Amino acid sequence: MAAKYSRRPSYLSEPLSPSIIPDLAILPQPLPAADLPCGQLVSKSSKHNPTSLEDRDFDDVGTQWYKDVIFFNSEDGRFVESFGGTHLVQKPLDEGTEVGTIEAVEQRVRILKDAEAAIKKIWLEDSAKKWIQEQEEAGFVVAHRQLANASYKRARLHDIGNGNYEVVREVGGEDKSGKRRDSTLEVKNTDSKWDTIGVLVRRIVMEGDDVGLGGELGVSYWH
């Protein structure tokens, strides 16, 4: 289906292309959209939502329809790897993992236009500065992906040779005990139309009385 772009600031003469979307790490489980805004400060012990960022600090890209192939942990259901909207993967399942798919009628990605400028803007907030200084390590959510009415389903890999595996969505199957099971993944209901499923987080680096950003941190703050 052709992409349909989300609303954008009127000063842009052309829609933003989905090609500007960075690589986003998949979260272990989807979260309600309100729980993980772009621009959030995160650490292992807490989260902090700054108040100084405005809509003009972000770029927003949206498309109709989204699909992703994922590997997830068999024991706890946590998502461990994302392969994008492909029909083939070049990797067999590791021990203790299974394959699934995510589909949604719409995706939207929010990205900070200038992450370095944004963290310096936030540094001027007394509460945000205090929060950052109190953390042993902290990250800054500089982009996130949200999906509307997402569907999470089980799938199987069919070996078609030459190191290629076809992804086949499961209609019905059996668990390890041989009992019939539903094809829907056991994903905790977010009670939200929009689920956040992907993020890009960068390390916050304090430099004297200044602040900047380091490398990517992954999704360890949500494990």
Instruction: Dump pLDDT digits (tens) for 117-139.
Output: 999 999 999 999 999 999 999 99
Mean pLDDT on 86-111: 94
What CA–CA distances, in Å, run from 217 to 42, 44, 153, 171, 199?
10, 12, 28, 36, 10
Sorting pLDDT into bands at 50, 70 and 90, what band is 16?
low
Name the H helices within 77-134.
115-123, 126-134
Sorting pLDDT into bands at 50, 70 and 90, what band is 21?
confident
pLDDT digits (tens, 9 = 90+) for 126-183: 999 999 999 999 999 999 999 999 999 999 999 999 999 999 988 765 555 556 567 8
pLDDT of residue 223: 74
Q: Would you say residue 8 has pLDDT above 60? A: no
Alpha-carbon Rg of the chain, whole angstroms? 19
Q: Would you say residue 12 has pLDDT above 60? A: no
pLDDT of residue 191: 86
Q: Residue 211 forms beta bridges with which residues?
A: 206
Q: How far is CA 63 from the centre of its chain?
A: 15
Q: Would you say residue 66 has pLDDT above 90? A: yes
pLDDT of residue 114: 96
Q: What is the mean pLDDT of the chain?
A: 88
pLDDT of residue 178: 54
pLDDT of residue 19: 64
pLDDT of residue 44: 94
Compute φ and ψ for 137, nearest 5 degrees: -150, 140
Please name the residues in contact with 185: beta carbons below 8 A apart, sequence gap of 6 or more.
Answer: 72, 77, 100, 152, 153, 154
Q: Which residue has better confidence, 207 or 71?
A: 71
Mean pLDDT on 67-83: 94
Sorting pLDDT into bands at 50, 70 and 90, what band is 34?
very high
Q: Nearest to residue 77, comparing CAs of 99, 62, 59, 58?
A: 99
pLDDT digits (tens, 9 = 90+) for 182-194: 788 888 778 889 9
Q: What is the DSSP string of 140-169?
A: EEEEEEEEES-EEEEEEEEEEETTEEEEEE
